[in-house]
Amino acid sequence: MSSVEFNTLLIGNADFLKPFAFTLTKDAEQAKDLYQETLFRALSNQEKYLEGTNIRAWLFTIMRNIFINHYRKKAKTRLVTEPAISDFFLNYQQMPASNKADTNLRMKDIHVAVYHLPPIFKQPFMLYYEGYKYFEIADILQEPLGTIKSRIHFARKILKNQIPRH
């Protein structure tokens, strides 16, 4: 088959590729790129086309393979890599300075709010804050487990409402 005949055959069947390209990519610009690359590959591999073969199927196969290869390439580049030590030093100068005054004021607000909790909520909350498990607090205070859980829950709710938001 001559180049002129192949080009005529290709141009006559190329429009069927556009909807398929959009179906694969779901993006108009990427579909145009895929369409153009498919036509380029078809032209550059003209000698591989066997006369009498379904050209549409041949073109669809080329397009699908290009799409799959690009997808695989993207998937490989999306792999999360661990930052190198040099990345840390590149960004070292860009780290924000912490303002401990704001943190200290916030902690003071929290301590005041905890201090003003009613004793029925304050005692189980402080034990929980110190690291005791619910069942351990229930044993220490000789209260049912459900009661301890609800008191800690209500203590959190009270603190959330009392502590000012910055």
Residues 31, 59 within the same domain: yes
Residues 46, 76 within the same domain: yes
In the chain, the number of structural domains is: 2
Looking at 50, 84, 118, the residue that finishes a domain is: 84
Q: DSSP assignment of 95-164, as one string?
A: PPPP-HHHHHHHHHHHHHHHHTS-HHHHHHHHHHHTT--HHHHHHHHT--HHHHHHHHHHHHHHHHHHSP
Residue 153 lies in a domain: yes
- Higher-confidence position of 24 and 164: 24
Residues 66, 139 within the same domain: no
Q: What is the pLDDT of residue 29?
A: 92
Distance CA(26)–CA(38), nearest Å, equals 17
Distance CA(21)–CA(67), nearest Å, equals 9
Question: Residue 5 is part of a domain; what is its CATH number?
Answer: 1.10.1740.10
Residue 124 lies in a domain: yes
Q: What is the pLDDT of residue 151?
A: 94
Q: What is the pLDDT of residue 134?
A: 92
Q: Which residues contact 77 (CB under 8 A, 6 or more apart)?
A: none
Tokens 């799409």 correspond to what residue? 67
**Residue-wise pLDDT tens digits, 68-115:** 988 888 777 765 555 555 555 555 555 566 667 667 777 788 888 888
Residues 59, 115 within the same domain: no
Residue 90 lies in a domain: no
Residues 79, 22 within the same domain: yes
Residue 143: Cβ within 10 Å count: 15
Residues 2, 80 within the same domain: yes
- Prediction pTM value: 0.46
Looking at 62, 84, 106, the residue that finishes a domain is: 84
Residue 89 lies in a domain: no
To 10 degrees, the CA torsion angle through 74, 77, 78, 83?
-170
Distance CA(48)–CA(50), nearest Å, equals 6
Residue 36 lies in a domain: yes
Residue 91 lies in a domain: no
Confidence of residue 41 (pLDDT cuts 50, 70, 90): very high
Measured in whole angstroms, the distance separating CA 119 from the mean position of its chain's CA atoms is 44
Residues 79, 1 within the same domain: yes
Residues 6, 61 within the same domain: yes
Q: What is the pLDDT of residue 90?
A: 57
> Residue 120 is part of which domain span?
96-165
